[in-house]
Amino acid sequence: MRLVAWVLLVANALAAKALANAPPALADAPPAVQVFDTHEGNFTSIINPCMVVLTGRLLIFTEARLGKGGDSDPSRIGMKHSDDGGRTWSPMRVLLPSGIEPASTVGNLAAVVVPHRAGATSQRICLVFCVNNTLVFTTVSDDAGAHWSPPTDLTRSVKEAGEGWVATGPANAIVLRSGRILVPMNSNIASGSISIDYTLVPGSEGRNRQCPMASLQVGVRGASPSPLPPLHRGLGNVDPSAQPGVPLPALDPCSKLTLASLFKLQQRAYVLISDDSGKSWSRSTALPLLASETAVAELGDGRILARSRIAEAGWQDGCQHFALSQDGGSSWERVNTSQCVQDPGVQTSLLASPAADGAVLMTSPLIEKRCGDHLRGNLTLYRSDDGGTSWKAAAQVHADCSGYSSMAPLDARHIGVVWSTQGLPRGGPVMFRTIAAVGG
């Protein structure tokens, strides 16, 4: 009996601690609405939503995947719209832009509403996407998504020689107050990207074949060799023993370093830039992070904040990482944050607060639940009032399995959030809800 009482006491204490650390629940918010069913249209999975807002209409694009539902399986673009603020949604339309082979992987969607065009009588949507993660295209619609132009191939403008795998977005593209369009993109080098300098530990020849180095320096993308950044516990998603808000400890690289880890060192993120409403594109310098999927938002003072999913294979430390641009996204510098905001190794969404109060909002899951192949759950809305230096959990958006998300302003007081549920590879329903812009 005493043992049972002690167990109950410990369980209650742990539950109370978890509750104390949990973000506050949404007060008086409309319930979440299902936009896409898990296997709608006989697809294996419907995931990774991207949302844009027109006058009187919301549009959500998703990756509608076939095969086993994996990142490299054939896929289409799924699209729905709502004309009543997200309460009800149209039937799904399936898009395969003209000229794209049916067996292709079509994804990494990022959409924006193009700024005012001289003489235009309608709003234009520009949808950026990748094909087989090697080619980058855009397509536009001038009639709220009813019809789409033949795709334009941007690959030669935005992909550098030697790069293999590329991905846009997903979901996070913005228009600055200046009219400039920014679309995040990340890439890997196809070959010849890494040079290694090392010094053998005396007496180690033939003894430690895995890592016989006293010192190891790596040059990435043609740069001079420099010391390795810290290697951390955990491959793929962050180690399940990670504690909320506590960085993962560094490891001895000689005991854990692998070729996969070295390959991830050359993953970089950029933004694609258009100053002519999407007619032509260039790309920025690289973010100063080992970065992949990236989100951007314009701060009240005109600076651009970027948050990137950090390259995996042991380089993740379990914390969110950010960069700032002072010149409209052309170049970047790292942000020294004052805290560790938990990062489960997943895409997030950023949004400048529509309340024009200078804040920036972020949606990101916490590491609290195993969902399929991933540790992703408890989608949380964060708020920063100091340009991304510090963050607080403002509200819990979804208390169960949750993954990729997209935010958009609905009006000066409300935002819309759309997100994937459940885990890979099969995913779950895609959900939407309206949330009041959270005060400071």
Q: What is the pLDDT of residues 26-48, one digit of tens each?
A: 766 789 999 999 899 999 999 99
Q: State residue 388's pLDDT score.
A: 94
Average the pLDDT over 93-105 and give the result. 93
**Max mean pLDDT range (81-95, 310-324, 370-384):** 81-95
Average the pLDDT over 137-162 and give the result. 94
String of DSSP letters for 285-312: PPPSSSEEEEEEEE-TTS-EEEEEEEP-
Q: State residue 12's pLDDT score.
A: 38
Share of the chain above pLDDT 70, in %: 84
Confidence check: pLDDT of 142 > 60: yes
Comparing 292 with 11, the larger pLDDT belongs to: 292
Confidence check: pLDDT of 262 > 90: no
Q: Tell how strand 304-310 and strand 226-227 pair up.
A: unpaired
Average the pLDDT over 365-372 and give the result. 74
Average the pLDDT over 255-268 and give the result. 80
Confidence check: pLDDT of 404 > 80: yes
String of DSSP letters for 184-227: EEEEEE-SS-EEEEEEEPTT-TTT-SS--EEEEEEEETTPPPEE
Average the pLDDT over 114-122 and give the result. 79
Share of the chain above pLDDT 90, in %: 56
Range with the poorest average pLDDT among 115-129, 304-318, 415-429: 415-429
Confidence check: pLDDT of 13 > 50: no
Q: How many CB atoms lie within 10 A of CB 313?
A: 21
Residue 71, burial from CB neighbour count under 10 angstroms (0-12, 13-18, 19+): middle
Q: State residue 202's pLDDT score.
A: 61
Q: State residue 206's pLDDT score.
A: 46
pLDDT band of residue 1 (cuts 50, 70, 90) is very low
- Give pLDDT tens digits for 275-290: 999 999 999 999 999 8
Confidence check: pLDDT of 59 > 90: yes
Q: Where are the domains of the chain?
A: 26-192+257-436, 194-256
pLDDT band of residue 407 (cuts 50, 70, 90) is very high
Average the pLDDT over 143-163 and give the result. 94
Comparing 356 with 23, the larger pLDDT belongs to: 356
State how far the alpha carbon of 70 is from the alpha carbons of 74, 255, 411, in Å: 9, 31, 36
Q: State residue 250's pLDDT score.
A: 85
The SS3 of residue 5 is: helix
pLDDT band of residue 126 (cuts 50, 70, 90) is very high
Query: Among 397, 392, 440, 389, which residue's Cα sits nearest to residue 415?
Result: 397
The first and second tokens of residue 287, run together, are 């973010």
Q: Name the CATH code of domain 26-192+257-436 (choices 3.30.1280.10, 2.120.10.10, 2.40.110.10, 3.60.20.10).
A: 2.120.10.10
Q: State residue 94's pLDDT score.
A: 96
Q: State residue 28's pLDDT score.
A: 67
Distance of CA 139 to the CA centre of its chain: 21
- pTM of the complete model: 0.90
φ/ψ region of 56 (left if φ > 0, alpha if ψ in -120 to 50, else beta) reads left
**What is the residue-averaged pLDDT of the chain?**
85
Comparing 261 with 100, the larger pLDDT belongs to: 100
Comparing 306 with 217, the larger pLDDT belongs to: 306
Q: State residue 270's pLDDT score.
A: 96
Range with the poorest average pLDDT among 101-110, 243-252, 391-400, 408-417: 243-252
Confidence check: pLDDT of 294 > 70: yes
Q: How far apart are CA 399 and CA 368, in angstroms?
A: 10
